[in-house]
Each structure stands twice: as structure tokens, then as C-alpha cells.
Amino acid sequence: MLNQLRDLDLQLLRLFVSVVENGGFSAAQGELGVGQSTISTQMAKLETRLGFRLCERGKAGFRLTPKGEQVLQATRRLFEAIELFKGEAQGMADKLLGELRIGLSEALDRQVLERLGAAIGRFRQRNQAVQIELLSAMPAELERRLLQDQLHLAIGYFSGNQAALALQPLFREDQALYCGRAHRLFDARRIDAEALLEEDGVRHPYRFIQADEPWQAARSSARSEQVEGTLAFVLSGAHIGYLPRHIAAPWIERGQLRELQASELGFTVQFHLASHRGRQPGEAQLAFIEDLRASFADLGMVS
């Protein structure tokens, strides 16, 4: 009985179909390129594997048995299914599949979002059927999600203390110190270091870059984990604090913010593309990284 289908069985079934389509053993010799005795031997092997006769052959000519008729139909369906599988498998070999979960730092610059959009556009032009999810969160949360395999990639500024994370430089962001219109320093002609020592600054308990800030608040009654909160504190006129320059720009144009000692107190933050070192990246992830870096390189943003 045929309990398992082996390569040899497929070869025998192909011979069987050829014999039927040619109308007998003798007529099939030319197509198969083997002698009649070999064909007869192979057919006998197939019948042994199946456990019943497939055809009658003799002086009366070649004729399928009822079971042979059914095997012929089943064999043709089998070969059609094999061809369909081969076509689908070939398609999958050339196609990116699966999903990508990508984390983004908060309040990214317009240019950064444009480059991210361009990368997604590049990726969508590939032969792919990938579900992409974008999630915005604070850097510490992005790190946590990467470590817990909830994200494949993340774009942000990171502590650098997680050995499990691989970091690729992607772009830089300029930060500066600001005060609001109602603050006493807003209209000051000259602002020296001593004048800033007594100011109430906004603290950022989550920010990994705080140690890099040239101005450190000696006292603070304001805390914010997000850029929007820092901006609100600064606009109040009661506090000064660091903001990304692209966030502050429209408020400066409206006369609501002033940058304090731009040349001395401004600094630059390096943003990275982060992934988990211990996870083998899939084809879709590798392709998206390639498209992402190409998009940022167009603007010379990759260091």
C-alpha cells in the first residue's frame, strides 16, 4: 500500500500518465526514451506500491481498469497542485513577507518625517506584502519595547547602556536653551552665566541626554517627560529649558520664545536606529534598514 509518497513514486506516476496519454507501452517508448520492457517493469512497481492493477495490456490492447481511471484523475490533480505549489513557492522566494513594528521618538523634525516617509515609499516599491506598524514613545519606552521583542526597530536617542541593543547613527538634532516672553530674561540685553544660575529650569527625568546639556539647573520646580510639557513650562515665563530647535522655531517667529546664549549653551543630539543584537533580522527588516539609510543619506543626515 502507498502510505508515503516518495520521489520514486512521483516518477512512476509520471510514467503512468505518459503511458495513458500515448495509448500504451509501445507508443510511450519514444516520449519516455526507454524500452517497452523497462516501462512494463516500472508499471509493475507502481501497481505493487498501490496494491492494485492500473491497466490491462495484452492482445486486446491497452485499457485502464476502473481503479486506474481514478488514479489517473487523482494523479493529474496531484501534478496540478505540485505546479501550483512551485509557482507560489517561487513567488514567496522573491517576496518580502511578515510584519515590521517600528518605534519613533517623540516630536521628530519635519525633515526627519519626510525622510521616514520616503523610506516607506522605497520599501513599498519592493515585491512585498508586509504589515508596518509605527509607534511613538519616549526613548526609555522604546528601549524597553526593543528588549522585550515588541519592536523590530526604533529611531531615537538612547542611553547607550544597553549592550543588547545595536545602534546605527542616523541623524542629528540641535537643542538650545529657551525662555518665554513673560520671563525676566526675554528682553535682557546681556545674559551672563551668573544670571542663569538662579533660574528655575525644567528637568527631564527620562532624558538620556541631560548630562550633555551645557546648562544644568541648580534648582527646578518643573518636571516633564515630554517635549510638549517642557514647551508649556517655558512658555509660562516661570522656567527656562532645553527644546529641539525645530520645535522652538515657530514660537520664536511669533515672538513667544527667546534662545539663550545660542553659541555657548546649544548642543547636538545624535539619533540612532536601534535593534536587538540577539535577534536575527528577517529579510523585510534588512530591506527596510537599507531603504531607511538610503533616504537619510540623500540629505547627508547619516553620520
CA distance linking residue 128 with residue 98, whole number of Å: 9
Q: Which helix H or strand E contains 22, and what residues bound it?
A: helix 7-22
Is the confidence at residue 109, as pLDDT, over 60? yes
Contact status, residue 103 vs residue 142, Cβ threshold 8 Å: yes
- Cα–Cα nearest to 168, from 153, 183, 182: 153
Say what the pLDDT of residue 3 is: 64
Separation CA 103–CA 290 (nearest Å): 17
117-142 per-position pLDDT tens digit: 999 999 999 999 999 999 999 888 99
**Distance between CA atoms of residues 223 and 220, nearest Å:** 8
Is it the case that residue 302 has pLDDT exceeding 70? no
| More confidently predicted of 186 and 10 | 186
More confident residue, 124 or 47: 124
The mean pLDDT value for 75-83 works out to 87
Helix (H) or strand (E) holding 68: helix 66-93
Nearest partner of 106 among 145, 150, 138, 74, judged by Cα: 138
Q: At residue 1, does pLDDT exceed 70?
A: no
CB-based contact 103:144 (threshold 8 Å): no
**Between helices 7-22 and 25-32, what is the axis angle to 10°?**
120
pTM to 2 decimals?
0.70
